[in-house]
């Protein structure tokens, strides 16, 4: 039981680290909270809520992966390196694509309720 408790403690420490130092994650979390508010404010179906929640968790998870890879690359190669830049740009593109997908899902679900 102690190992499980320690695992949760480490995960919470990681979330705290992210919330303190990562501005992009905080911004994404703000958009996620707005989406959660809207999905309960408007009469959305359970399926719509599930799709929105999946999109939210996908974007936040990918942003965390992006943060980890960026920090790892900065640790391994502190000086500027063109290959590191390309990897970071590719990770940013992954998060951007997921965010655009989540925005499209949000438009599909919320558009009929707003307009």
pLDDT tens-digit profile of 60-107? 999 999 999 999 999 999 999 999 999 999 999 999 999 999 999 999
> The pTM is what?
0.92
Residue 3 lies in a domain: no
On whether residue 2 sits in a domain, the answer given is no
Q: How far apart are CA 89 and CA 73, in angstroms?
A: 12
Structural domain including 89 reads 23-114
Q: Distance between CA atoms of 50 and 54, rounded to whole angstroms?
A: 6
CATH number at residue 47: 1.10.287.3610
Spatial CA neighbour of 52 closest among 67, 22, 31: 31
In a domain, 57, yes or no: yes
* Mean pLDDT, all residues of the chain: 96
Q: How many domains does the chain have?
A: 1
């Amino acid at each position: 039981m102690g190992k499980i408790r320690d695992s949760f403690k480490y995960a919470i420490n990681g979330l705290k680290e992210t919330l303190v130092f990562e501005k992009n994650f905080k911004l994404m979390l703000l958009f996620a909270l707005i989406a959660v508010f809207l999905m309960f404010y408007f009469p959305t179906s359970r399926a719509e809520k599930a799709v929105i929640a999946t999109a939210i968790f996908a974007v936040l998870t990918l942003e965390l992966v992006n943060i980890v890879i960026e920090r790892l690359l900065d640790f391994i190669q502190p000086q500027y390196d063109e290959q590191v830049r390309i990897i970071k740009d590719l990770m940013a593109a992954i998060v951007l694509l997921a965010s655009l997908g989540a925005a499209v899902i949000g438009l599909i679900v919320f558009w009929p309720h707003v307009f």
